[in-house]
Amino acid sequence: MNFHFNEEEQEILDMLHDYAVKEVAPRAHEIDEEEKFPMEARNGLAEMGMMGMYFPEEYGGAGLSYLSYIAVCEELAVHCATTSVVLSAHESLCSWPIYKYGTEEQKQKYLTALASGEKLGAFGLTEPGAGTDAAMQKTVAKDEGDHWVLNGSKVFITNAQYADIFVVFAMVYRDDYKEKPYTNKDISAFIIEKGFEGFSVQGHEMKMGIRGSSTCSLYFDNCIVPKENLLGEQGKGFKIAMTTLDGGRIGIAAQAIGIAQGAINETVAYTKERVQFGKPIWKFQNTQFQLADMQAKVDAARLLVYRAAQAKQDGEPHSHLAAMAKLVASETASDVARRCVQLVGGNGYSREYPFERHMRDAKITEIYEGTSEVQRMVIAGWLGATK
């Protein structure tokens, strides 16, 4: 496989690197410490055309490759994991399903505003009783002739407080649901606007890591949704959610390797300065061997991430590839970030330094958009079906 960025993409990645070093990295500590949403970066990325990197220009996107978008998720996470997830929840989880399943009118109305960065997107699948078991949706959408009425709630929704447009999943109401219980074939997807009657965003999760990202609950209290806001075919919502997450997981895997790379870079720099027993601790073989092992593992994980991204870009099956990439990248990120804290010692544990933040940020990559156990289920499902 040849992971290739053309000249224009490389220029954009170089520009993004400079931007991240100058504008994203210096704010990462404050974003974490004060649970501050990275509004400057959200706006800066929009100005640079990065809120819709891989969508066609006719829909407000930049028309670049999916692989270059994944490289951007990674680069942002090197400096600030919060900023990276704001972008990936917006692009992978909200814009992509509208691009893939939306009508021309929906694309003109919603995707154009999302891809240009004018509006921010979010994705509402998880409920209090439907986390890993995503098919157990309790939110219900009732067909009322000329509109839908939604009732229910969603939890742990990334970008929620600042989002304008939400892709939300619900069971379409049937009179006979008591005799014939709902299944995943009853789930449909809907496009919800922030201002819809009966819709509200509430609460704010206080989190261990990615503390600047907005994570809230969504409430639908007789929420009126126009008929034309059904996304994709009725009853195909579960497949829409799963295929969306196949892409989202590649973005989170990229975030994970970015976090790990950031931890390694900063640990190398720190150990070159820190003197103990008369020499920089970098000079000790334990330091070098540990960091060498970590870098090799991060590069191995990166290859899995780029392989999954390339497969998605080429329109090839990639559920299992995305699951492998996320499983390995997220577990590598947690391991690397923890080992970097240990190498740095007391200052690794101090909130004045970035090392412990990387450790906290890394953990969520093993949980959201499908836990490591979910990734194993997906990989095992593929293994059982093909080997």
Query: Which of the residues are catalytic?
Result: 369
Q: Which of 82, 126, 255, 310 binds ligand CAA (CB under 6 A)?
A: 126
Spatial distance between the Cα atoms of 254 and 75, rounded to a whole number of angstroms? 8
Q: What are phi and psi of 353, to 5 degrees?
A: -110, 160
Task: Compose the 226-255 pattern: x for residues touching ligand CAA by CB under 6 A, - for all others.
Answer: ------------xx--xx-xx---------
Smallest gap from residue 361 Cβ to ligand CAA (A): 14
CB-nearer residue toward ligand CAA: 135 or 149: 135
Q: Which of 55, 123, 166, 196 binds ligand CAA (CB under 6 A)?
A: 123
For residue 134, state whether it binds ligand CAA (rule: CB under 6 A).
yes
Amino acid 198 reads: G
Nearest to 150 by CA among 136, 137, 159: 137
For residue 74, state whether it binds ligand CAA (rule: CB under 6 A).
no
- 289, two tokens: 């061997």
- 110, two tokens: 């919603």
Spatial distance between the Cα atoms of 349 and 356, rounded to a whole number of angstroms? 6
Q: Which of 86, 281, 362, 378 binds ligand CAA (CB under 6 A)?
A: 378
**Sign of the dihedral defined by the CA atoms of residues 183, 188, 192, 196, in that order:** negative
Amino acid 124 reads: G
First to last CA, the chain: 22
Q: Which of 151, 153, 184, 200 binds ligand CAA (CB under 6 A)?
A: 184
CB-nearer residue toward ligand CAA: 200 or 288: 200
Whether 54 contacts 123, CB under 8 Å: no
- The footprint of ligand CAA on residues 318-377 (CB under 6 A) is 319, 368-370, 374, 377
Smallest gap from residue 152 Cβ to ligand CAA (A): 15
How far is the CA of 155 from the CAs of 1, 24, 64, 309, 373, in angstroms? Answer: 39, 28, 32, 28, 20
Smallest gap from residue 322 Cβ to ligand CAA (A): 8
CB-nearer residue toward ligand CAA: 130 or 344: 130
Of 75-83, 151-159, 308-316, 327-335, which part binds ligand CAA (CB under 6 A)?
151-159
CB-nearer residue toward ligand CAA: 32 or 369: 369
Smallest gap from residue 4 Cβ to ligand CAA (A): 26
Task: Compose the 82-111 pattern: x for residues touching ligand CAA by CB under 6 A, - for all others.
Answer: -------x---x------------------
Q: Which of 64, 125, 189, 191 binds ligand CAA (CB under 6 A)?
A: 125
Smallest gap from residue 249 Cβ to ligand CAA (A): 8
| DSSP labels, 213-282 | S-EEEEEEEEEEEEGGGEESSTT-HHHHHHHHHHHHHHHHHHHHHHHHHHHHHHHHHHHHH-EETTEEGG
In sequence order, the 6+-apart residues with CB closer than 8 A to the CB of 43 are 117
Amino acid 259 reads: I
Smallest gap from residue 244 Cβ to ligand CAA (A): 9
For residue 157, state whether it binds ligand CAA (rule: CB under 6 A).
yes
How far is the CA of 352 from the CAs of 106, 120, 173, 201, in angstroms? Answer: 46, 31, 52, 33
Smallest gap from residue 357 Cβ to ligand CAA (A): 19
Q: Which of 132, 222, 347, 350 binds ligand CAA (CB under 6 A)?
A: 132
Amino acid 229 reads: N
User: Where do contacts with ligand CAA occur on this chain (CB under 6 A)?
Assistant: 89, 93, 123, 125-126, 132, 134-135, 156-158, 184, 238-239, 242-243, 245-246, 319, 368-370, 374, 377-378
